[in-house]
Amino acid sequence: MAIENIKMPQLGESVTEGTIEKWLVQPGDHVNKYDPLAEVNTDKVTAEVPSSFTGIIKELIASEGETLAVGEIVCTIEVEGGGSKPAAEEKPATEEKAPASNKEEAKISSTPAKPSGAKGRYSPAVLRLAQDNDIDLAQVEGSGNEGRITRKDLMKLIDSGNIPKAGDAPAADTAPAQQEQPAQTSAPAAPKAASAPIESAPGDIEIPVSGVRKAIAANMLKSKHEAPHAWMMIEVDVTNLVQYRDSIKGEFKKKEGFNITYFAFFVKAVSQALKEFPMMNSMWAGDKIIQKKDINISIAVASDSALFVPVIKNSDEKSVKGIGKEVNELALKARSGKLKSADMQGGTFTVNNTGSFGSVQSMGIINHPQAAIMQVESIVKRPVIMDNGMIAARDMVNLCLSLDHRVLDGLVCGQFLARVKEILENMSKENTSVY
C-alpha cells in the first residue's frame, strides 16, 4: 500500500488558509473517495475537506483549531491497491517516516539556530504574519503540536502589543554597557499585564466562540492591521426612488413572488458606478494592485447564529429584478444553512445594508482583500432646502465608504460616490425599469 497526502484545499479565490474546526475521522478509519474528513473554517465559509482517495487514515498531521496555509498537508492516508500488506509490515520505519517527511516539505523552514523540533518549522501563513509585524519567531512560545507556533499565537501577541523584536535579547546576553541600565531590560515585560485573562464574575454568561466567529474575527483583524482605512460619506436624496418603489412593490410581489427592496436599487447603482470607475474594483497584492475585470458584489447576510458574505456575480450585467431575486435567494440559503463555498467566492466590492437596523452613519471594516466597502444607511425623512429656497420634507440616505488608502485615494472615491449619488437621484418611474 502507498501513503498519500491530503492537503488543505483552496476554498475560495482569495482564501489562503483554513482552520481545522473538527476532525470527522481518526487514524485507522476506512474512508471512500470524496468522504468528508474534516470541517474547515476560512474567513469566507465553513466547508468540509473531502478525501481524494479510498483507503485507511494513517495520521492526522494537523490538530483541531490549527490554521494551515492552502496546500499544506492535513493528514495522510494509506491507499488501497498500492502494494501488499506483508510488504508494508516488513518496513514499518519507512511508513512512519513518510508522513513526517511530507509534513516538513509543506512547511517553510526558518531560524537555522533551531533546525530540529516542530518549533523550527513555520507555515507560510505564520511566516507572512511574522514578517508583516516584525515578530522574532525565535522568542515566541507555540501552542500547537510539539510546541509549533500557530497563526493564533501570533494574533494574540499582536492584540496584546507585546511583540518580541529581533533586538530583544535576554539580560544575560547583553553587553556591559547595556547591563548598566537594568531598568531597560525589564521594559518589554510591562505590556503583559494588559493581556491578562478576563475572568468571569458570578452571573456572567460565557459564550463559546464558534468557528465562523473566529474566522470573521481573524479576517477583520487582518484587514485593520494591514489596510490603512480612510472614510468618506455622501448624502443622497432618494425621494423619487422611494416614490417609484412604493408605486410598484405590490404588483411586483404579486407577479414575481418576492419583495422588491431598496437594496437591489443601491446594488445596481454601485455596480454601474464601478464599471465607470474600475479602480474601485481593485485589490492590493503586495508588489502590485490588481484591477478586477468582473464586478462581483459581496453582501452581508445573517442567519440566526452567524454572518455570511455571499457574492452576487457579474452584478453589472443584471437588472434590478435580477439583483433583487439573487439577494432574496442568498438570504434564504443562509438562513437554511444551504450556502455553498461557491456562493462565497470571488467578491470584488462589498455593499452592506446597515440601514436595515436603523443605522444612519457607520464605518465598516474592509472585507479583505477588497479595497473598499460601502454602507447603505437608513432612509429617513429630513427637511431640505430646495433650489428655489423652499424647505421640503425629502427622503434622504447616507452612503458611507471605507477605503484602503494603499489602493484608493480621496479623488477617485469622491468621484465614485458622486456618480452613485447621481444615478440614485435620477432613478424614478419615468426613466428606470426594474427589468
* 29 neighbors 57 (Cβ within 8 angstroms): yes
- Indicate the pTM of the whole model: 0.60
Same domain, residue pair 19 and 136: no
Same domain, residue pair 92 and 69: yes
Q: How confident is the model at residue 352 (pLDDT cuts 50, 70, 90)?
A: very high
How far apart are the C-alpha atoms of 392 and 239, rounded to whole Å?
11
Peptide bond into 27 cis (omega under 30): no
* 66 neighbors 23 (Cβ within 8 angstroms): no
pLDDT in tens, 320-342: 999 999 999 999 988 888 888 88
Amino acid in the structure at residue 279? M
Same domain, residue pair 335 and 272: yes
How far apart are the C-alpha atoms of 398 and 234, rounded to whole Å?
6
Compute the C-alpha angle 287/293/297, nearest 5°: 100
How far apart are the C-alpha atoms of 53 and 367, rounded to whole Å?
35
| pLDDT on residue 109 | 40
Same domain, residue pair 96 and 140: no
Output the nine-digit C-alpha cell for 56: 485507511
Of 168, 190, 206, which one is at a domain's C-terminal end? Answer: 168
Asked if residue 212 is part of any domain, the answer here is no
Same domain, residue pair 254 and 379: yes
* 258 neighbors 324 (Cβ within 8 angstroms): yes
> For the packed helices 124-132 and 151-160, what is the interaxial angle rounded to 10 degrees?
20
Selection from 297, 242, 238, 244 nearest residue 272 by Cα: 297
Q: Checking DSSP bridges between strand 282-284 and strand 289-291, what pairing results, if any?
A: antiparallel
Same domain, residue pair 143 and 268: no
Output the nine-digit C-alpha cell for 398: 447616507
The CATH number of the domain where 90 resides is what?
2.40.50.100
pLDDT in tens, 284-308: 998 899 999 999 999 988 777 677 8
Amino acid in the structure at residue 385? I
Q: How confident is the model at residue 428 (pLDDT cuts 50, 70, 90)?
A: very high
Q: List b or e across 59-85, with b for residues whose CB sees 16 or more CB atoms inside 10 angstroms.
A: bbbbeebbbbbbebbbbbbbbeeeeee
Output the nine-digit C-alpha cell for 430: 419615468
Domain interval for residue 137 = 109-168
Q: How confident is the model at residue 56 (pLDDT cuts 50, 70, 90)?
A: very high
Check pLDDT > 50 for residue 71: yes
Asked if residue 224 is part of any domain, the answer here is no
Calculate the CA 423 to chain-centre distance: 30
Same domain, residue pair 97 and 114: no
The CATH number of the domain where 162 resides is what?
4.10.320.10
Asked if residue 187 is part of any domain, the answer here is no
Asked if residue 207 is part of any domain, the answer here is no
Same domain, residue pair 15 and 141: no
Same domain, residue pair 71 and 163: no
Of 127, 147, 168, which one is at a domain's C-terminal end? Answer: 168
Report, in angstroms and rounded to the nearest whole number, the Rg of the chain calculated over CA atoms.
27
Same domain, residue pair 149 and 54: no
Helix, strand, coil percent content, the chain, rounded in steps of 5: 40, 25, 40
How far apart are the C-alpha atoms of 250 and 194, rounded to whole Å?
56
Check pLDDT > 80 for residue 211: no
Query: Annotated catalytic, 368?
Result: no
Same domain, residue pair 116 and 77: no
Same domain, residue pair 72 and 156: no
The CATH number of the domain where 406 resides is what?
3.30.559.10
Of 168, 195, 218, which one is at a domain's C-terminal end? Answer: 168
pLDDT in tens, 3-22: 999 998 887 666 778 888 88
Asked if residue 368 is part of any domain, the answer here is yes
Query: Annotated catalytic, 405?
Result: yes
The domain total for the chain is 3
